[in-house]
Amino acid sequence: MSDEASPAWSSLRVSLAPTFPQLQESEAGGALAMELGSDGWLLELTPDGRLLCQYGMALEDVMALLSDGTPEDLGTDEIAKQAKYYIQPAVSKYRTILLKSGFSEQTEMNDDYVAARFERNVDLTNPTAVQDLMRWCVKTIGVAR
């Protein structure tokens, strides 16, 4: 894919703005993201046609939770395992409904965070279907407690 945004992506972005004014882009022409409620879930739409619902934890936050012990003695892998443990209750709350709705689950890990990511391909040329799926995510995860 080229660095130029596709016409479908550009058109979709314009159509989403009034419906989801809280969408933010981290870089020009890049993915659009917004928080799903106050529980820490994030909804992201990518220019290559993926809708992501993700929940994660910064490794720095895990280290703070473990600070009673000696987290500086733990390697990144061990801290990442702890992060997965901490995010499981929030993720398991929605895992079944997301998987039944066509999302696939992956774990994303880097030096800064660990996240459970639920991903589904969307048709960028069908703004109505994308908006409907985004509304469903907001309704299902964003307002549920």
- Residue 144: what pLDDT? 46
> How do the residues of the chain divide into helix, strand and coil, expressed in percent and rounded to 5?
45, 25, 30
Residue 96 makes CB contacts below 8 A (sequence gap 6+) with none
Q: What is the DSSP letter of 5?
A: P
pLDDT tens digits for range 23-45? 999 888 899 999 997 778 999 99
pLDDT tens digits for range 129-140? 999 999 999 999
pLDDT tens digits for range 93-134? 999 999 999 999 999 888 888 899 999 999 999 999 999 999
How far separated are the first and last CA of the chain, in Å rounded? 39
User: Beta strands 24-25 and 50-58: pairing type?
Assistant: unpaired
Checking if the pLDDT of 62 tops 70, the result is yes
CATH code reported for the domain at 7-142? 3.30.1460
